[in-house]
A and B are shown apart, each in its own frame.
Chain A
């Protein structure tokens, strides 16, 4: 399964599961139920429609990656986030939760703090580009929710991420 399809399913689960609880890894989401069966991916909209969540995830890019122990946004990351900010300012009906994640190379506590730092770095960048602060929230999952499971740098580099997860609604 490609990354894009995976995140598509995950976000679909969020869109359908309601947004009162931002922890999309809880019982109601794919993390808790152990599967994504029965989820209607149409909740993300048509990926060719530039106002859809699917377009945001696939074309704009919903995530940025970080170096080991770092929360500095790379030049590639800046380009993605600049596009995210532009999209969010055009599509004002969406709010976002920025999830910060770490790889498994670190203690649980440190990685929670590090994930928060990464999420905040993204949030601050988006605000600096003009996205209203009241449409953005952050959460850290530390090393609790890797997307790649191997224990090598190839996977770690994809797990050190901040993901901008959209939901319908003007504020969070």
Chain B
């Protein structure tokens, strides 16, 4: 067995850890909790304090590392500003010790996160409280305890962040999630590609395939257990289904003389929609994974590709060049001609329906530049979020408020990297990866 495979399995075992969850303190009613409303307009980051979590026994470095990950998650959203330790007036001496709220008020902290970590053998327990500093009360529901194995310590930190983020923004979080992508190496004309998976913040990287054949555009299943992607392993592009735990894989739909690509799961995970090319013409098909039954959804001499289901499974958004240039269309999940929704100048591709159902993200190409954008599901309110030589292939964070995508630089030394941006166009940043990377796909929030 290759070592990347071993490390992938190790990582996945860690993922399979049972995270148990218990309440720490009763929730208290309050009047005006600290609140960030995510929407257009300028948001002044909310000042927060996350003092190093208390070591309640055997925690060692875990206490500091857990608090560091929580801080990094929250600050990474662009909605929070962490107040450095050097500004603290008082210290948190114990998880249940009285808090001198006046001291935290004095340094302008709106939210104070206290926590404690204990480790016994390979078991780790993380508990936390997030306070509204102004009234000295715990934010409703923001006092919890997580327990699991030490291998999963980052997941517990992400879960703490998810709770705090959701209590303050009213949106669900996205930190306890993974990203599958294509890790790249080698020059532009001999690019080597292999599938890799990592935490949303780049930690816990593991490789799922070697680089023996081209792999493209992986997509997670709705429960995160498996990945669909396009592989040239057989010599021809074929959609492949891989179990991320066992790394077992199989090719779906192998009709001679055809090419299959651009696969994506239905929201219930039973169906794969994808493009099938025969005799030069590409249409969209649906494949029932269980029975292998194949259903043709579009039937046109133009290119129909990049299908993506609405979260309720009733509709499919896709890309077609039937008008003479690539545009975005929506059809019923049972197929049909569809209705064009993109209307602006330029070419539109890779539409992806938000997991919340409210927006469709896309790639737009206009006047030699590429953009990642969002529009309402009827095509209205188009908003371009990025611009560069080549941005493409957006994927939604599980909460539908952040997008990750590929950005490639131009010229002989051109390389791809992963970036994220929120749906208002704020907080554009590069995701740390081992080397060049492309085609990210975000997992759902982990259980």
Contact = CB atoms under 8 A, between A and B. Distances in A.
Closest 6 CB pairs of A and B: A120-B280, A151-B410, A113-B282, A27-B212, A107-B349, A21-B235
Please tell me the size bucket of the interface on A: 35 or more
Contacts, number: 135
Interface in A26-63: 26-27, 30-32, 34
Interface string B332-371: 0000000000000001011000000000000101001000
B280 A138 contact: yes
Contact of A108 (B213, B321, B392, B410): B392
Interface of B: 186-192, 211-214, 216-217, 230, 232, 234-237, 257, 259, 261-262, 275, 277, 279-282, 303, 305-306, 319, 321, 325-326, 347, 349-350, 363, 365, 368, 389-390, 392-393, 408, 410-412, 414, 439
Contacts of A145: 189, 191
A160 interface: no
Nearest to B349: A107
Contacts of B408: 104
Contact of A107 (B187, B214, B277, B350): B350
23 contacts: A20-B235, A22-B235, A23-B214, A25-B190, A25-B232, A30-B190, A32-B211, A34-B192, A104-B390, A109-B306, A109-B349, A110-B319, A110-B321, A110-B326, A116-B282, A123-B280, A139-B235, A140-B277, A146-B188, A147-B189, A149-B188, A149-B412, A150-B412
A54 to B, nearest CB: 22
B364 to A, nearest CB: 10
Contacts of B237: 112, 139-140
Contact of B303 (A114, A146, A151): A114
Given A26-B213, A107-B392, A113-B282, A139 B192 contact: no
Interface of A: 20-23, 25-27, 30-32, 34, 69, 71, 104-110, 112-114, 116-121, 123-124, 137-141, 144-147, 149-151
Contacts of B279: 120, 124
Contact of A112 (B188, B259, B347, B411): B259
A27 B212 CA distance: 5
A169 to B, nearest CB: 14
Nearest to B182: A108
A108 B392 CA distance: 8
A22 B238 CA distance: 13
A161 B22 CA distance: 61
Contact of B325 (A69, A121, A138, A139): A69
A32 B192 contact: yes
A97 B259 CA distance: 14
